[in-house]
Each structure stands twice: as C-alpha cells, then as structure tokens.
C-alpha cells in the first residue's frame, strides 16, 4: 500500500483538525509492519502496511501505558487512534515522538554496555504482571517454535541442494534446530517485545535510550526476544547480554532456533529479501554454528 505524507496530512486534517498545521515528514528508513511519519516536533503517526498488522494498533494503545511505568527506558506513548478514511482501510495511531537514532544507524559507544542495558530492559519487561495480557497467535513470536518446523527443514533442504549453501554445515544446522525443538517454555507466560532488533532500539550519546515498535508485544516464551545475541552481538557483548538475563540453557537453545529459522528463510530466499539481507543472514547462521560447536 502506498502511504504518503499527503495521505497522512489529509487524515490528520479530517480527524484531528487541531493538528492540521503541523508538518508531516516520513521517517526513513521506515518499518515493515507499519509506516511511521513525524507529526510536528512531538508526535508520530503510525499506519499499518497490510491487513495482517492492523491488530497491533489497538494492542499498543491498550497495553503500552500499562507497561511504561515499570520499564527503565522510554517506550512509545499512545495519544490517539485514527479511523479508516480517505481510502486508507484500517485504524492508525498517533503517538508521542521519542528522540534518538535507531541503533542500526546510530553510533553505539560500548557494545557490551549497550547489551547489558538491553538485558536490563528485557528483565524488567519479563517481570511485569501478565494477567489478562495478549497471547501470541499461531506462528507468532512467543508461541510454539515448532510451528516453523516444516519451513525450516525446507530451507535446510535447499542448502543441501546447493541453493546458497555457501559451504554451510547442514548437519550442524539440523542439530541446532532439533535441539531447539527439544524443549518448550513451561513456566507462566511472561511479557515479550516480539521484535528486538537494532532498528527498534534508539540510541542517544552512544547509549541505549528507548525501545520502540511494540506491535508484537504479548506474553509467551522469551526465547524469541534473544535473537539479537547473534544478529548484533558477539564475543564480549553477547556474553554480557546473556549473563545479565536469568534464563536457562533450554531457553537459549530455543533462542538459537528462533534466530536460525529467520536467518535460514531469509538466506535461502523463502521470504522476501535482498542480497544484503541474505548476506547478513549468512553471517548470523555462521555465528550460531560457531557457538553451537563450543557447547
């Protein structure tokens, strides 16, 4: 769907005329699930990019104000929900603007300290009362990893046939995946963010300053929030991240599984991707295999 500043400006003028004089500028690079635009100096507008993401708007509006008081870092503050209009078919949201660059684009002064700060945030999130909290649907992060078994094994078969195999050890990959499936989260479901990635973490002055994009927030298995250990951390920073989290080895094994699934389908082309993402996923796979070989 083509979501433009002109459309956003028109939606604001129609539904929130008190903000009609505020400038609307697209945030770049933009997200996948939602398109974000800055509204004036103090607000942002968030619009789903496809029907499968529309539930995120109301969920964030309902739950983020309840989570925020218990967290050590700022998260988005919901302000209003807009209704379908002017050819845009879904609800959309207005939130407070949080200053900072994404960690994907900004400078991180000390990666191990950044990793510890993120772990502290996740620990705080996991400890919040999860009574009546939203649960992940089938195939959503925080749910059963086994949902992706067929897709993962299909990707492994593609590697065996030489499709972007790049000398990856498919036997070791299969072992990592099988180990990940050996356990489940059997404790009471705890809060998860659902998409902990550098693009959803903000930095100021080289330090982690905020966490954004809670469209996948729910309660379930925290393993899915640990993928950043291999996608962004290594060596000392991964050790710092892991040591700051009170999670057992089985959870870390599932975390490797979550990370491996996404990296495999991206690298083999089973999901929409590009060359840069494929290369990044290849590096993630090799990091997982290196760590697994040392266990």
**Which of 68, 97, 126 is the last residue before a domain boundary?**
97
Asked if 118 and 86 sit in the same domain, the reply is no
Asked if 64 and 118 sit in the same domain, the reply is no
Q: Is residue 199 part of a domain?
A: yes
Q: pLDDT (tens digit, 0 to 9) for every residue of the chain, 295 residues total?
A: 789 999 999 999 999 999 999 999 999 887 778 999 999 999 999 999 999 999 999 999 999 999 999 999 999 999 999 999 999 999 999 999 999 999 988 899 999 999 999 999 999 999 999 999 999 877 789 899 999 999 999 999 999 987 665 789 999 999 999 999 999 999 999 999 999 999 999 999 999 999 999 999 999 999 999 999 999 999 999 999 999 998 999 999 999 999 999 999 999 986 666 788 888 999 999 999 999 888 7
In the numeric block, which tokens belong to residue 104?
């994907």
Q: Is residue 184 part of a domain?
A: yes
pLDDT of amino acid 282: 93
Q: Is residue 106 part of a domain?
A: no
Asked if 193 and 268 sit in the same domain, the reply is yes
- Rounded to 5°, the CA angle 206-212-218 comes to 135
Asked if 224 and 172 sit in the same domain, the reply is yes
Asked if 173 and 278 sit in the same domain, the reply is yes
Q: Is residue 103 part of a domain?
A: no
Asked if 124 and 22 sit in the same domain, the reply is no
CA–CA distance, 192 with 142 (Å, rounded to integer): 7
Residue pair 267/275 in contact (Cβ under 8 Å)? The answer is no
> What CATH code is carried by the domain that includes residue 64?
3.30.200.20
Q: Is residue 230 part of a domain?
A: yes
Q: Is residue 257 part of a domain?
A: yes
Residue pair 94/80 in contact (Cβ under 8 Å)? The answer is yes
Q: Is residue 134 part of a domain?
A: yes
Distance of CA 48 to the CA centre of its chain: 15
CA–CA distance, 146 with 152 (Å, rounded to integer): 10
**Which of 62, 97, 132 is the last residue before a domain boundary?**
97
> What CATH code is carried by the domain that includes residue 279?
3.90.1200.10
CA–CA distance, 180 with 183 (Å, rounded to integer): 7
Asked if 140 and 198 sit in the same domain, the reply is yes
In sequence order, the 6+-apart residues with CB closer than 8 A to the CB of 157 are none
Q: Is residue 102 part of a domain?
A: no
In the numeric block, which tokens belong to residue 193?
């963010």
Domain that holds residue 51: 5-97
Neighbours of 234 (CB within 10 A): 15
pLDDT of amino acid 32: 78
Asked if 234 and 284 sit in the same domain, the reply is yes
Residue pair 156/177 in contact (Cβ under 8 Å)? The answer is yes
Asked if 223 and 246 sit in the same domain, the reply is yes
Please give the tally of structural domains in the chain: 2
**Which of 65, 97, 129 is the last residue before a domain boundary?**
97
Distance of CA 133 to the CA centre of its chain: 18
CA–CA distance, 61 with 42 (Å, rounded to integer): 17
Asked if 172 and 38 sit in the same domain, the reply is no
Asked if 67 and 208 sit in the same domain, the reply is no
pLDDT of amino acid 164: 61
pLDDT of amino acid 106: 81
Asked if 127 and 67 sit in the same domain, the reply is no
């Amino acid at each position: 769907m083509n979501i433009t500043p002109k459309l956003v400006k028109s939606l604001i003028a129609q539904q929130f005329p008190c903000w009609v004089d505020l400038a609307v500028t697209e945030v770049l690079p933009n997200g996948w699930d939602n398109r974000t635009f800055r509204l004036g100096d103090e607000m942002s507008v968030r619009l789903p990019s496809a029907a499968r993401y529309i539930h995120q708007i109301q969920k964030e509006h309902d739950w983020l104000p309840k989570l925020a008081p218990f967290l050590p870092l700022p998260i988005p503050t919901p302000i209003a929900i807009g209704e379908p209009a002017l050819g845009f078919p879904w609800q959309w949201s207005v939130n407070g603007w949080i200053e900072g660059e994404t960690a994907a684009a900004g400078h991180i002064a000390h990666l191990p300290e950044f990793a510890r700060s993120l772990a502290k945030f996740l620990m705080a999130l996991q400890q919040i009362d999860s009574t009546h909290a939203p649960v992940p649907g089938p195939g959503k992060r925080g749910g059963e990893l086994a949902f992706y078994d067929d897709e993962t094994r299909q990707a492994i078969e593609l590697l065996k046939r030489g499709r972007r195999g790049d000398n990856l050890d498919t036997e070791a990959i299969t072992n990592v995946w099988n180990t990940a499936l050996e356990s489940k989260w059997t404790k009471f479901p705890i809060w998860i963010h659902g998409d902990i990635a550098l693009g959803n973490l903000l930095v100021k002055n080289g330090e982690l300053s905020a966490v954004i994009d809670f469209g996948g927030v729910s309660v379930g298995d925290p393993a899915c929030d640990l993928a950043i250990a291999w996608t962004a951390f290594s060596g000392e920073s991964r050790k710092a991240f892991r040591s700051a989290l009170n999670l057992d080895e089985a959870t870390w094994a599932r975390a490797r599984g979550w990370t491996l699934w996404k990296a495999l389908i991206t690298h083999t082309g089973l999901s929409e991707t590009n060359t840069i993402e494929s290369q990044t996923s290849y590096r993630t796979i090799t990091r997982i295999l290196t760590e697994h070989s040392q266990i």
